[in-house]
A and B are shown apart, each in its own frame.
Chain A
Amino acid sequence: MKNSGLCFQFELKKLLIARRGWLIILAAILLQIGLGCFSNPHLYEYSYDTKLYEQYTEVYSGPFKKSNLRKMDANQIVLDKIMSEQTKPDLSSVDAYEKQSRRIEMASQKSSVLMAIRDKYASFADFRELEPELTYDLELTDYIKRFGMNWASLLCIALLVPLLMLGDKNCGMEQILFPTVTGQARIVRAKLLAACVTGVAVTAVCTLLQWILFSLRWNLGKLDVPVQSITGYAQCSLHSSIGGSLLLSGIVQVLAVPAAVLILCIFSALIRKEVPVVAASVITVAISALLTEKIPGLRVFSIASPLSCMQALAQMSGADLIFMLFFLCLKTTLFAMAAFWLANRKR
């Protein structure tokens, strides 16, 4: 393709040097450092069932232990006993009957959760048995949970993409560049590629910073033990170590960036005015942050939902992960086609 490589180089040069995009990237890195140094782990509002599930997984998580199995058996016996009261209702008073009903219902819920945990526990017993006894403190759990969205890099991208996509139009160069032999299509392609590469690079740098800062704040301990050793990850179906899972989450996080970048490119191609595009991009990122962080049920609508992968890993199987990556590729391809078509169309 004629001039494509050069065109890409020029787009990066224009963005980073001529339009001072490096200042925005520097600001994002500083923000990331600030967030990494001063933020505290946050609490999520879960439903009662989720809380119960978490309590159980926290109690029985960690390396496979026979003592844990014995505790589970003992717990199950107690729960079975309570549930068997169903056949002998306490009819001495209304209060006593209601109290018994509530107790039975609670035992039933706990029992089903316990059974699910036992299943998972059993499936991973083979490789868990190989590990020595380990206990991770709560900070590591918080650390793992914090590998969600990289908001500093997304905010940076929300500011950089309009600069890149609309810079030529705003300074009047578009009408000079498009009629050249390089042509509109190659220039638009170079812009989309430059936007994705910049987004991926910024996110990779911010993620790396995040890892370094968290490892300095909280000692990460052994990264080569199964991820199921971490409190709350007993039910994770991935055959992976903590280090492997972290790396996987980092890779998925970076892979998810082009999809988010391309959505912002679509905004630029549709709106074609820098200030409204920046406003729309920042609002979209903010709403995504809100959806992802505060309302886990609505996470799927977030602009970069795959970025919260590490939290989802706790409930994810290998097949889920492959499906998620396939969906991510599909989404990125569709967004790329839409962004190219919109930015390349003649008015």
Chain B
Amino acid sequence: MLCFTDLTKKYGSFFALDRFHAELDCGIYALLGPNGAGKSTMMNILVGLLAPTAGTVTYDGKNIEEMGDSFRALIGYMPQYPGFYLGFTAMELMRYMADMKGLPRKDAEARCKELLKSVNLADHANEKIGTFSGGMRQRLGLAQALINDPKILILDEPTAGLDPKERVRFRNMIRRLSDKITVIFCTHIVSDIETIAKEVILIHHGKLLRQAPIPELVHDMEGKVWEILPDADETETMLDQFPRSSLVSRNMQTVIRIVNDTQPHPKAKACAPVLEDVYLYMFGDNGV
């Protein structure tokens, strides 16, 4: 069990994290929040790149700072836009990371090959990373994060730059892993996590807004999501009037989907909410 207790990070008078509290067990935890919400700060504290101003993070009851090496041996981290030594080949980088993560050399070679294959980079193992596309680098980032068979996998915007096929492949891979490990999946892309996340952690202005399973979050939105078929001249006015709204296509017609506590218009009809509505409700127009 990974537990964040009153975690605070302050830069001058600005709170990047403000008494953040969450408890995580096995499974995929989606970290959702707008830019600057404190997601990256929280992850950087977890992986030891930042020191908290106050509060603690514990793993199975032990403070991770005191655990030191033994905690770092448990984590796999894939940062947003991972950068690599462009002069290294994929295999050289994997070998290097295996050494840095303390894998015995006799096991490392096979593990590196297996992981490169699983992220579909086996054919490019001996090519220089400098020649890789953004998507290939993302996949290499995931492969290096998994090299030590982590118990806690931390993924910061892992699907950025991946094409739809790679995205599905990636989701499947993470889903398979999540039975035994804790995965913290930070993203803006709601569709990436709505089918795989065990729970969603909503964070804004450094504070935890909500931690709950997706069905519960969606259920709470019942009666707050509306769709309306606007007259041609009403579209722009309504979009301006309801900032938590979006245009969607229904049967070749464009309808406005509005997230609002009350019926926004006499013609508006209640409809079934989805996770994106939760996001809009929480964070659209600066959130609730």
Chain A residues engaging chain B, CB cutoff 8 angstroms: 2-3, 6-7, 10, 14, 17-18, 171-173, 175-184, 346-347
Contact = CB atoms under 8 A, between A and B. Distances in A.
Contacts of A180: 72, 97, 100-102, 148
Classify chain B: how many residues form its interface, as a range.
Answer: 20 to 34
Given A173-B83, A179-B75, A346 B69 contact: no
Contacts of A347: 49-51
Given A179-B75, A182-B100, A182-B102, A173 B48 contact: no
A173 B48 CA distance: 15
Interface in B52-86: 68-69, 72-73, 75, 77, 79, 81-86
Nearest to A187: B100
Contacts of A178: 47-49
A175 B49 contact: yes
A346 B45 CA distance: 10
Nearest to B77: A179
Nearest to B9: A347
A14 B100 CA distance: 14
Given A181-B72, A181-B73, A347-B50, 5 more contacts: A3-B99, A173-B84, A176-B84, A179-B48, A346-B50
Given A10-B96, A179-B47, A181-B69, A171 B85 contact: yes
A3 B99 CA distance: 7
A183 B68 contact: yes
A172 B83 CA distance: 4
B132 interface: no
Contacts of B44: 175
B144 interface: yes
A171 B84 CA distance: 6
B102 A181 contact: yes
A15 to B, nearest CB: 11
B140 to A, nearest CB: 11
B54 to A, nearest CB: 14
Nearest to B47: A179
A171 B50 contact: no
A312 B136 CA distance: 59
B79 A172 contact: yes
Contacts of B75: 179
B230 to A, nearest CB: 46
B215 interface: no
A171 B100 contact: no
B48 to A, nearest CB: 6
B62 to A, nearest CB: 16
